[in-house]
Structure 1
Amino acid sequence: MVDDEALETAKTLLSEFPVVDGHNDLPWALREQVGYDLDRLDIAEDTSDRTHTDLARLAEGGVGAQFWSVFVPCSLAGDDAVSATLEQIDCVRALIDRYPDHLARALTAADMETARAEGRIASLMGAEGGHSINNSLATLRALYELGVRYMTLTHNSNTDWADSATDEPRVGGLSPFGEEVVREMNRLGMLVDLSHVAPETMRAALRVSEAPVVFSHSSSRSVNDHPRNIPDDVLEQLPRNGGVAMATFVPKFVLPEAVAWTRAADENMRAKGLHPLATTPEAMAVQREYEEANPRPKASVGTVADHLDRMREVAGVDHVGLGGDYDGTAFTPDGLEDVTGYPRLIAELVRRGWSSSDLAKLTWQNAVRVLGDAESVAARLREKRGASIVRFAR
């Protein structure tokens, strides 16, 4: 039961310091469900029967900036991955063009502040998985020029140059070329995203990076020992690095009891020839049928708040944020069913004693600061280093 007074406090705070959400997979849902036909799935209308996200619900949830994920799965490789990433970028740009009263293209921290002042949602992009650059720093630079402002070094599988959290280690964190990728991201001003990567990759990137890093959608490994979460020793390094860890809401990442259940649900999807992350009506019907026969352990707003409490305790309040992973997961916690849930989470943190200044950092200020700091580092490095000469992995 949400405390009404705490909920009003949360809504008041979000009206001034809205949520910067680190990761939303709506572009992939639009690709998968309607082949990017925005007339067939118009987020200016209520799409709650098909997605976690539409414009009215973003406003109700107090979202003021969104990193739209331009994700492509690891099953796409080489030039196919690059092409699909470009199509994802094109989708985000089409959304911004289609809904200019609601969405504003944002490339910098200053753009985010301008959008907030205008009452529009600052729309940024994050590439989820280093396979999107096909071992080419030239492609990395092209993605930056197209507006991508973070890249997750891996997705669920290793790249040739970085180890994933959910694959067998190959290079021991980062290869020499992987280190060059991090350095070039620093030089560009593209945030290094360490969600999905192995702990050794996290540690290696923190050693190499001169700019703050992000975890766009990861929670605390000490609360739930899942490989997608962040170990305490890594969280402890964020104050020195200046980065931010954005807690995710995916039940199997936040609730220990949900891990085995989700694994079985995923196997059921594969047995029916469907990808576990599919969000088509057919896929969701399969998920609902499985859940009816096998009631799932349910995470809650309090479950996510437990992770945020721990992350604040270890990393400090200047280094926490939010990355829901909406439209990238079949299941969500109770009370956080879609993008309208953020006020309920903030209300729970109010109830737990988080101050207004702490919450403003969590929702808005930390993420904006990190992007601005990365821009400052990039300006210094470009003056110092000039153009990069490394082009391809060797």
Structure 2
Amino acid sequence: MQRSNSSRREFLSVAASSASGLLIAPLRAAEPDSRLAGVLARTISVDLHSHVGIPFGKPNAALPQFDLPGEMKRTGFSAVVQTWEVDSVPPSATGQEYIHFHEALDFEDRLLAATKVKRALTLRDLEAAHARRQPVIIQAAEGAQFLEGHIERVDEAHKRGLRVLQPVHERDDRVKPMADIYTRAAHLGGLTEFGAEVVKASNRLGVVVDLTHMSYDAVKSALKISAHPMIFSHTSLVPGPGDKPGDPRMAPRLLSKEEVRDITAPGGVIGVWWHGTNTVKEYVEQIKRVADAAGVENVGIGTDTDLEPDVRRLYTNAIWKGETRGMFPAVAEEMLASGFTPDEVTKVGGGNFCRLFGKVAGAR
């Protein structure tokens, strides 16, 4: 099941030593890598998990006053998988989360119309937008509690432009729970029968399934029944011997090497997030660790941040103190400096997700 990555760590070590011996590192510090511009120009870069704030319960709320396409261009991302959490507001009764689902999509419709940003529904949409240098979003939902036992609502969500569905988040569907949640005590036996229906319906419609927040028993069950590769949009590896200790509060949200390999064996993609890093260099180290475990062809970027400045969630363009470059340009430059090839940077930056998205949602 493990891909042939045993030589990767050795290669990077040798490359680093060679660079040091040839005094290349100081040159890199003095001027940008000459390969960077080409990487940034050709990569359809994608953030696998980007938030937008939804004013639930206020259907006529004013739109936020920020430049969505401008902020996306500052990050260097061609597209973001833009999501919201239906379960961020406790439901007062059955049916409330379905109302919140419509409020979220209605708000997104207004925001996108006002900022002239479109949804990408297929890989061809992504490619066309990139050719025009126009930022786009891929619509997602973090938590499918709005289904409330109605499998036909997956079809409804698809018709409204949803292309990535994360079945669980922090709270169970009050009518028909879909899976155990990794931050709560298991009580459902992993993936439920209804959860399996949701995975199969998503496969049928061309909706990418995001396994994040599922218990690993649930993940394994989903892997057995899914006809398509899936993503785990925002996570990283459990620290190993010699690695920097992580925040113990984040431990349930991290994956072991075995779990990463299981998810990526069918072609899945792991979105690496910034948690536990203080610099872009430390973040690239996390990317390396996941690439060593699963293969560079199965790694992506999932920030779990917000494009809107001055919100409670971390702002995408200010993840690391003192970092003035956009998110993706900073990561791409550091990846090149650390030994990744331009093609590998393109894969991690968005190529791997695009491959999966084309397979699941369709190329045209």
Amino acid of the residue matched to residue 202 of structure 1? V
Question: 1:207 aligns to what?
Answer: 224
Cα 1:144–1:338, aligned 2, differ >3 Å: closer, same or farther? Answer: farther
Q: Could you report, residue by residue, the CA deviation over 1:122-156 in whole angstroms, capped at 9, with x for unpaired residues?
A: 21111101212222111121111111111112112
Maintained 8 Å contact 1:336/1:342: no
Asked if 1:94 is matched to 2:110, the reply is: yes
Asked if 1:3 is matched to 2:29, the reply is: yes
Q: Match for 2:341 among 336, 339, 355?
A: 355
Question: 1:22 aligns to what?
Answer: 48
Question: 2:76 aligns to what?
Answer: 62
Maintained 8 Å contact 2:163/2:208: yes
Amino acid of the residue matched to residue 216 of structure 1? S
Cα 1:119–1:8, aligned 2, differ >3 Å: closer, same or farther? Answer: same
Q: Match for 1:329 among 307, 310, 313?
A: 313
Q: Could you report, residue by residue, the CA deviation over 1:40-96 in whole angstroms, capped at 9, with x for unpaired residues?
A: x3223xxxxxxxxx4323212211011110322254344211211221112222222
Asked if 1:179 is matched to 2:196, the reply is: yes
For 2:252, what is the secondary structure of its paired residue?
coil
Question: 1:242 aligns to what?
Answer: 267
Question: 2:98 aligns to what?
Answer: 82
Asked if 1:113 is matched to 2:97, the reply is: no
Question: 2:251 aligns to what?
Answer: 226
The Cα shift of 1:333 comes to: 4.2
CA root-mean-square deviation: 2.8
Asked if 1:344 is matched to 2:330, the reply is: yes
Cα 1:74–1:21, aligned 2, differ >3 Å: closer, same or farther? Answer: same
**Alignment partners' CA distance in 1, 2:148 and 2:90:** 10
Amino acid of the residue matched to residue 66 of structure 2? I
**Alignment partners' CA distance in 2, 1:361 and 1:117:** 18
**Alignment partners' CA distance in 2, 1:106 and 1:372:** 11
Question: 1:104 aligns to what?
Answer: 118
Q: Could you report, residue by residue, the CA deviation over 1:347-366 in whole angstroms, capped at 9, with x for unpaired residues?
A: 22111101100011111211
Question: 2:361 aligns to what?
Answer: 375
For 1:314, what is the secondary structure of its paired residue?
helix
Asked if 1:135 is matched to 2:119, the reply is: no
Bigger drift between 67-76 and 328-337 goes to 328-337
Maintained 8 Å contact 1:68/1:92: no
Structure 1 unaligned regions, length at least 5: 45-53, 256-298, 380-394
After superposition, residues 151-166 of structure 1 pair within 5 angstroms as 151-159=165-173, 160-166=177-183
**Alignment partners' CA distance in 2, 1:83 and 1:6:** 49
**Alignment partners' CA distance in 2, 1:212 and 1:308:** 20
**Alignment partners' CA distance in 2, 1:337 and 1:125:** 28
**Alignment partners' CA distance in 1, 2:203 and 2:61:** 32
Q: Could you report, residue by residue, the CA deviation over 1:176-231 in whole angstroms, capped at 9, with x for unpaired residues?
A: 22111111111111111011121212212111111010112222224646111222
TM-score, length-scaled by structure 1: 0.73
For 2:78, what is the secondary structure of its paired residue?
strand
Maintained 8 Å contact 1:22/1:67: yes
Question: 1:42 aligns to what?
Answer: 65
For 1:216, what is the secondary structure of its paired residue?
strand
For 1:220, what is the secondary structure of its paired residue?
coil
For 2:235, what is the secondary structure of its paired residue?
coil
**Alignment partners' CA distance in 1, 2:325 and 2:141:** 21
For 1:354, what is the secondary structure of its paired residue?
coil
**Alignment partners' CA distance in 2, 1:336 and 1:212:** 37
**Alignment partners' CA distance in 1, 2:265 and 2:43:** 25
Cα 1:357–1:310, aligned 2, differ >3 Å: closer, same or farther? Answer: same
Cα 1:81–1:31, aligned 2, differ >3 Å: closer, same or farther? Answer: closer
Cα 1:189–1:339, aligned 2, differ >3 Å: closer, same or farther? Answer: farther
**Alignment partners' CA distance in 1, 2:228 and 2:104:** 26
Cα 1:343–1:59, aligned 2, differ >3 Å: closer, same or farther? Answer: same
User: How many aligned positions are there?
Assistant: 318
Asked if 1:366 is matched to 2:352, the reply is: yes
Maintained 8 Å contact 2:200/2:225: yes
For 1:361, what is the secondary structure of its paired residue?
helix
Q: Match for 2:291 among 312, 328, 334?
A: 312
Maintained 8 Å contact 1:3/1:347: no
